[in-house]
Amino acid sequence: MTDHRDFSPHPQTTAAAYGVASDRAFGAVAPPLYLSSTYEFAGYEEPRLYDYGRAGNPTRDLLGHALAKLELGAGSIITSSGMSALDLLVSRQRPDDLILAPHDCYGGTMRLLKARAELGHCSVRFVDQSDVSAFADALEEVPSLVLIETPSNPLMRVVDIAVLAAKAHDAGAAVAVDNTFLSPAIQRPIELGADYVLHSTTKYLNGHSDVIGGAVVAADPAQVDQLRQWANIVGSAGAPFDSWLTMRGLRTLFPRMAQQQNNAMAIANYLQNHPAVVKVHYPGLPTHPGHAVAARQQHGFGAMLSFELFGGVSAVRQFIKAVRFFTLAESLGGIESLVAHPATMTHADMGEEARATAGISDSLLRLSIGLEAERDLLVGLETGLAACAG
Ligand SMILES: *Cc1c(COP(=O)(O)O)cnc(C)c1O
């Protein structure tokens, strides 16, 4: 017999049902959307739970609580974008603080860190975190914050969060993991030792490509309070309507991720055996260098992958023209499948030399795999590959 006294619901149940039927005014089953910017005081010197929308909002807080539960944190701050979530942490650093970030981090992350460093708000150093000795050397400089991104974009490099976090803590640094590429349905960094989890909720958490949003989850309640105050000071909170939409998207996070990563696995296998394809980067493939770590620290392999075509830029052009069911667009994590060409789109700003160092060739394509039927996605890719082979 299972002892149900310590029973806590499965995260899928939290995503699907957190806050359902909690409305005390009318018994609404779907949690209501509160747009009000201000709240009536109960009386003289009697504020209620909420007073002003920049500081707090019931709809935004519902999403924040659900996300904190899913990420196993003490609380979370919902912000207006993934970038403003990152900046909530970065802008709290002092001028003599050093941030250690991956050399192949998200382009917007690199731009923000460099811009803050240029203004003297903090220092930043980029390092290949999969290089054990380079990472150890960088820790000698006593960073205040180590930022981790795994899997990376667009080559899906995987690093061991538990190992890096332990080393960072030994060096006295706090650890933040950008979990945008997997979501808490697949990876829970706090369980692996992270102090903060960052999200662009724009991606899998909302999942429908119709909101820009972000979140910071903190493991320590004192940090949650400080960050909440800071978000109120700088005014970076997410809009209530966006939170409501994101909560609606979050309901189906687990089944979406399950189906999308099944599709991704099928596509990775298909591409790997195709004569027009040089190489496939997907942690679910046993041949991927990060496969063992991913299998250990993730609960699945996600729905992002990239691959390289034979025939360079002209093959890329032909493929993009002919491919079906994949839309040529930046971003990821939505229910629709997207194809991106990192060299001319997401990673164009990097410059040719930096791309070459990072291993991002002109014939690399990135796929965000959606919820379409596997058969159709395979047919759509086949159409594209046939065109570039011919
Ligand atoms: C998209 C993205 C961001 C930035 O989020 P926005 O919501 O676009 O501001 C940060 N990190 C990763 C890994 C992303 O994919």
- What per-residue confidence (pLDDT) applies to 35? 98
C-beta of 106 in contact with ligand 1 (< 6 A): yes
Distance 86 CA to ligand 1 centre (A): 9
Average pLDDT of 137-158?
97
Q: Which CATH architecture has domain 253-389?
A: Alpha-Beta Complex (3.90)
- Ligand 1 contact, 204 CB (< 6 A): no
User: What is the mean predicted confidence (pLDDT) over 206-212?
Assistant: 98
Q: How confident is the model at residue 354 (pLDDT cuts 50, 70, 90)?
A: confident
d(CA 260, CA 224): 32
CA-84 nearest atom, ligand 1: 9
Q: Can you tell me the distance from the alpha carbon of 219 to that of 185, in angstroms, rounded to the nearest whole number?
A: 17
The strand pairing partners of 349, in sequence order, are none
Class of domain 11-250: alpha beta
Mean pLDDT along residues 150-168 = 97
What's the CA gap between 222 and 195, in Å, rounded? 12
390: pLDDT strictly greater than 90: no
Q: What percent of the chain has pLDDT over 70?
A: 98
Q: What is the structure's pLDDT at 4?
A: 66
| Cα-trace Rg, the chain | 22
Q: Give the confidence band of 3 by pLDDT, cuts at 50, 70, 90.
A: low
* Residue 178 annotated to the active site: yes
Whether the Cβ atoms of residue 252 and residue 333 lie closer than 8 Å to each other: no
Confidence check: pLDDT of 2 > 70: no
Asked whether residue 77 carries a pLDDT value surpassing 90, the answer given is yes
CA distance 326 to 90: 35
Q: Which of 180, 205, 211, 236 has most ligand 1 atoms within 8 Å of CB, for mutation?
A: 180
214 beta partners: 79, 200
Peptide bond into 151 cis (omega under 30): yes
Instruction: Determine the average pLDDT of the residues in 176-190.
Output: 98
Residues of the chain with CATH 3.90.1150.10: 253-389
For residue 1, is pLDDT > 60? no
- Cα 74 to middle of ligand 1, angstroms: 23
- Mean pLDDT computed over 285-310: 98
- C-beta of 319 in contact with ligand 1 (< 6 A): no
What pLDDT, on the 0 to 100 scale, is given for residue 353? 87
How remote is the CA of residue 358 from the centroid of ligand 1, in Å? 19
1 CA to centre of ligand 1 in angstroms = 45
Mean pLDDT, all residues of the chain: 96
Determine which one of 18, 34, 39, 106 is catalytic. 106
Active site residue 106: yes
pLDDT at 254 over 60: yes
Q: Where in the chain is the domain with CATH 3.40.640.10?
A: 11-250
> Of 23, 50, 54, 251, which residue is the catalytic one?
54
Asked if 349 is an active-site residue, the reply is no
Q: Ligand 1 in contact with 302 (CB < 6 A)?
A: no
* Closest ligand 1 atom, residue 105 Cα: 13
* Mean local confidence (pLDDT), 54-83: 98
Contact 288, 157 (CB under 8 A): no
**What would the mean pLDDT of 226-239 be, rounded to a whole number?**
98
Per-residue pLDDT for 41 more than 90? yes
Overall pTM > 0.95: yes
pLDDT at 349 over 90: no
8 A C-beta contact, residue 284 and residue 296: no
The dihedral formed by the CA atoms of 312, 316, 317 and 322, expressed in degrees to the nearest 10: 140
* pLDDT at residue number 355: 86
| pLDDT value at 158 more than 70 | yes
Instruction: Indicate the top mutation candidate among 200, 338, 349 to test ligand 1's pocket, ranked by most ligand atoms within 8 A of CB.
Output: 200
Task: Please give the average per-residue pLDDT across 201-213, as a whole number.
Answer: 98
For a ligand 1 pocket test, name from 83, 112, 147 the mutation site with the most ligand atoms within 8 angstroms of its C-beta: 83
Reply yes or no: is the peptide bond before residue 154 cis, omega within 30 of 0: yes
Task: Tell me the per-residue pLDDT of 78-115, one tens digit each, with 9 for 90 and over.
Answer: 999 999 999 999 999 999 999 999 998 999 999 999 99
In ligand 1, the atom with minimum distance to the C-alpha of 83 is: 9
Question: Is 54 noted as a catalytic residue in this protein?
Answer: yes
How far away, in angstroms, is 83 Cα from ligand 1 center? 6
| pLDDT for residue 346 | 87
Calculate how far, in angstroms, residue 51's C-alpha sits from the geometric centre of ligand 1: 31
Per the CB < 8 A criterion, the answer to whether 214 and 199 are in contact is yes
Cα 114 to ligand 1 centre (Å): 16
